[in-house]
Amino acid sequence: GAVVSQHPSWVICKSGTSVKIECRSLDFQATTMFWYRQFPKQSLMLMATSNEGSKATYEQGVEKDKFLINHASLTLSTLTVTSAHPEDSSFYICSARDAGTGSHRQYFGPGTRLTVT
């Protein structure tokens, strides 16, 4: 149980284009999902908290107009990187909390490797 999927697993796009990443909780409902970014050989940094049915909460320094988050259902959150640039190349990982258990545990997706050329 508690499986989180992400799609795509990797994507290459040209500078200036937009890329959408999907995060799905497969066997549980998640009122809250989180988006993290991880640069090579670095730690995970929280970008934003995605709340079902309401606006996302962004961490300081993360541009909300550049990283658009939509959490339209209890099992799906999407992150759109708009007007991507090479410095946005990174490993994007989502996580989700099981709304049914009330547990603090976060279950991570497999990540999406974004390369902007």
Partner 1 sequence: GENVEQHPSTLSVQEGDSAVIKCTYSDSASNYFPWYKQELGKRPQLIIDIRSNVGEKKDQRIAVTLNKTAKHFSLHITETQPEDSAVYFCAASSGVGSGGGADGLTFGKGTHLIIQP
Residues within the interface to partner 1 (CB under 8 A): 31-32, 34, 36, 42-46, 49, 51, 57, 59-60, 91, 93, 95, 97, 104-111, 113
Q: Is 112 exposed, middle or buried (0-12, 13-18, 19+ CB in 10 A)?
A: buried
Minimum CB separation from partner 1 for residue 106, in Å? 6
Instruction: Give the three-state DSSP class for 42.
Output: coil
C-beta of 16 vs 100, nearer to partner 1: 100
C-beta of 4 vs 84, nearer to partner 1: 4
- Over its C-alpha atoms, the chain yields an Rg (Å, rounded) of 13
